[in-house]
Structure 1
Amino acid sequence: MDISETLALKQRDKFHRDFQFLYMTDLETANSITVSFLDWPSVLVLDPLTHLYYIPQENVADITLDSFTAFLYDVKADKLSAYGGTGFIQRAKRVLFDILTTVISVWQSSRWLFMLMFGLPTAVISIVCYSLCCMDTIEEELESDEDSDEEIEPPPYAKLSEIIESEAKQNELGLKETPGGKQQTILENTGGTRRRLKDPENKD
């Protein structure tokens, strides 16, 4: 007869009013209560109203009838530090723990199902994030390379445009020379009228 059974049956008048003894074979339920992975076997005292639980500090194999009785009396007198509760941090830990246990259970049940449920979405999200973050930098590098090429290489028709502009200015001033070396006839604007200026060598 183990220690808990001895206290539950032979010392019923001492502990039955405040404690109910229960033996659990489902370790996952105990892990869900404590939001942790317990060793098996374990001793746990749970308050169902506040969701606070108490765990003895010593190893289960080292617990004796006297030490376990003292542990229950300390829990009843609220002399021990409790774990768990219903606070915000504990609820957040419970959500994360449930997600973790779900992932572990899927991995243990089927590796292919795990890869399909978690590997494929992770790969798709990684590709999308890579394309969004890296394509802009690649385009900026290409644009900077094109700008540097344009700054280094002069335009192919720069000299030709300069020649055309100089000839246009000479035509406006009437200074363009003929192939024979003589100046062409100049039209001079004076007071809104035009007067023809003849060449010095032309006497006609």
Structure 2
Amino acid sequence: MKTKDFLEAVRQKLKGLPEEDIKKALDFYEEAIRDRMEDGLTEDEAVDAIGTPDEIAEQILMDTPLPKLVKAKAKPERGFRVWEIVLLILGFPLWFSLLLAAGLIVLSLIIVIAALVLTFFIVILALGLGGIVLAVASVFALVAGGGSAALLQVGIAILCMGLAVLLFIPAKALTLWIVELCGRFGKWVKLKVINSRKKGDTTNE
């Protein structure tokens, strides 16, 4: 496959994305093909080494922010027919309510999870700072001859700081897991949008 045909095939699979983004991606792969040709490959070999148009288009779409993908998916390739407009208007109370409810549910879940993680770290911080304050206070108590009370403060201070250290490890792991889970969810949504684009392209063909 020649470079021009390859880039055009990729362009067709990126329909709906901003032209600036498409051009930037195509320029990148055109430059990559040139680099391989400078290394001694023929044009066909250089294009084959890059990958198929489907693979490249999917990679570009995966690197595209989700809002742009959704906007590109929602953008019709043709004008709406009259009956489609009527259905959209009549169904607006239903589909908008469902869409709003789904959005609010997702938002509430994000807020709850973020609040739990934040609370966890606040507790850890409180234990750590409390332990430090008690440790300092126990030193003054010992100097002042506090005796057993000062020793008790030392024990509590060590306990608080120890708990803070022990809790920090699972808190960090939980945070990383949540971040990874959100990343996977975003990737899953992207794949759904990309697959729906592919189905639409197949139908149009």
Higher strand share: 1
Of structures 1 and 2, the larger Rg is shown by 1
TM-score, length basis structure 1: 0.28
Higher helix share: 2
Q: Which has the higher contact order (CA 8 A, sep 6+)?
A: 2
TM-score, length basis structure 2: 0.27
